[in-house]
Amino acid sequence: MKEAYKIEIITEKRAIGQVIDIIEKYGVTGYSIIADVTGKGKRGIKHGDDLNDVFKNSMIITVCDNTEAENILKELRPFLQRISGICMVTEVKYLVQ
Amino acid sequence: MNVFELFQNFLNPPVLFFFLGLIAIGMKSNLEIPQPLPKFFSLYLLFSIGMKGGAELHKSGFNSSVIAVLLLAISMSALIPLYTFFILKRKIDIHNAAALAATYGSVSAVTFITAVSFLQSNQMPFGGHMVAAMALMESPAIIAAVVLHKLYFKEENTLMETSLTHTIKDAFTEGSIVMILGSLVIGFVGGEKGYEAVKPFTGDIFKGVLCLFLLDMGLVAARRLKDLRKTGFFTLVFALLVPIVNAFIAIGLSKLLNLSHGDALMFTVLCASASYIAVPAAMRVAIPQSTPGIYVSMSLAITFPFNVVVGIPLYYYIIQYFI
């Protein structure tokens, strides 16, 4: 088992491509996406019922080491302030295959 | 058309299905159209009117009056945000003022499609170039609003600023615009023969799909009504008055250009409608500080129902007497 950090980001569905760019920029090669996430936040309700994905969020989950996590979070902060979204970081044990 | 016939519009199945959607949410029914069917319906409707418009355009061809209408449509889309932005800026923050200016300058494809159905019911033809006008009116308003926002708001973090080129690219590559413009070009290339080949799919089931789509729009609009509590009285009045003002300007311009009744109604509906597909998508990238709960709710829960239920027959009534 390896020590690692799990980063979970929920942000606008239309902006998920930019989050992937940030993650990959710092060498993280794997991630999972839950495409349609609805709920309520500071900027109102995401009903998930529109035609252009403006009222839909997506969730991206990735696991990385400490340095990668620090770099990703540094760049994510202004991005999330501008676009909106949340980011959760958890220390996890990672099963190396 | 008399006043009685005017109100027959209420009894049109697509309009009644819109009301059914509103009522269903009002009585807390679990009625819903599963995603992604509404997206498919909207693509189908755009494909259908794009093909029909292209085929009509193939028949009529491009002439100076067609080009004049297209230029006028583009100009109106760019000019409406100019006057609305300065009115809105006095009452609300600059981000939402710009987003609302784009919303009311751009057009609603669904209102346009409902007007197509209204004209079909009244056996009134319109030119295929009006479909091109609709596609061309989506983007100028977005660009004008983003330019105004950039002029009046200096962002602190310039590294995060979205470039105008990026916004323009996004405005022209939005899925709904690619679909309508693509279908229009394919309809134009295929001509009448090409249209006849797809007519069982694009023509015969058009009204049925429109009914289901408007049912979904009714459900969505009713859910957005709750968000209107945040918008305030000024924006509610704005959402009702601006379409009427724009409609009167459009009717005046239609008379100047001597447009047919069908074309005049389509042009008026385009100017009076407000976007809730292309603009919100563009605003989330170009002006993310704006609140979609405000501008989408206003266009979808007030302006759209007003135009579909009262606006379209009212504009048609005025056009018949005035032009």
Interface contact flag, A55 B296, Cβ < 8 Å? yes
Q: For the domain with range A2-94, which CATH number is right: 3.30.390.30, 3.40.50.300, 3.30.70.120, 2.60.120.380?
A: 3.30.70.120
Interface contact flag, A83 B292, Cβ < 8 Å? no
Residue A30 neighbours by CB under 8 Å, 6+ apart = A62, A63
Q: Is the pLDDT of residue B61 over 50?
A: yes
Could you tell me if residue B8 is inside a domain? no
- The mean predicted confidence, pLDDT, of chain A is 91
Closest residue in A to B157 (Cα) is: A78
Beta bridge partners of A61: A8, A32
Q: What pLDDT shows up at residue B161?
A: 56
- The mean predicted confidence, pLDDT, of chain B is 89
Chain A positions in Cβ-Cβ contact with residue B175 (cut-off 8 Å) = 52
Measured in angstroms, the CA of B93 and the nearest CA of chain A are apart by: 15
Q: Would you call A22 an interface residue with chain B, using a CB distance cutoff of 8 Å?
A: no
Interface contact flag, A14 B285, Cβ < 8 Å? yes
pLDDT per residue over B253-288, tens digit each?
A: 999 999 999 999 999 999 999 998 889 888 887 888
Could you tell me the residue ranges of all domains in chain A? 2-94
Interface contact flag, B220 A47, Cβ < 8 Å? yes
Q: In angstroms, rounded to a whole number, what is the distance separating the alpha carbons of residues B46 and B52? A: 10
Q: What pLDDT shows up at residue B159?
A: 45
Q: Would you call B108 an interface residue with chain A, using a CB distance cutoff of 8 Å?
A: no
Rg of chain A, C-alpha, whole Å: 14
Could you tell me if residue B5 is inside a domain? no
Chain B positions in Cβ-Cβ contact with residue A54 (cut-off 8 Å) = 280-281, 284, 292, 296
pLDDT band per the 50, 70, 90 thresholds, residue B289: confident
pLDDT band per the 50, 70, 90 thresholds, residue B231: confident
∠ Cα B112 B132 B213 (to 5°): 30
Model pTM score = 0.87
pLDDT per residue over A12-34, tens digit each?
A: 998 899 999 999 999 998 999 99
Q: In angstroms, rounded to a whole number, what is the distance separating the alpha carbons of residues B307 and B208? A: 20
Assign residue B251 the CATH number of its domain. 1.20.1530.20
Could you tell me if residue B16 is inside a domain? no
Chain B positions in Cβ-Cβ contact with residue A82 (cut-off 8 Å) = 157, 160, 288-289
pLDDT per residue over B169-212, tens digit each?
A: 777 788 888 898 899 999 999 998 999 999 899 888 998 999 99
Q: Is the pLDDT of residue B150 over 80?
A: yes
CA nearest B105: which of B151, B145, B71?
B145
Interface contact flag, B278 A45, Cβ < 8 Å? no
Whole-number Cα distances in Å, B56 to B173, B233, B260: 25, 43, 15
How many domains is chain B built from?
1
Chain B residues 15-74 with a CB less than 8 Å from chain A:
35, 38-39, 42
Q: In angstroms, rounded to a whole number, what is the distance separating the alpha carbons of residues B169 and B85? A: 23
Could you tell me if residue B265 is inside a domain? yes
Q: Is the pLDDT of residue B20 over 50?
A: yes
**Structural domain of residue B163, as residue ranges?**
37-322
The mean per-residue pLDDT over the stretch B310-320 comes to: 94
Interface contact flag, B223 A47, Cβ < 8 Å? yes
Q: Would you call A87 an interface residue with chain B, using a CB distance cutoff of 8 Å?
A: no
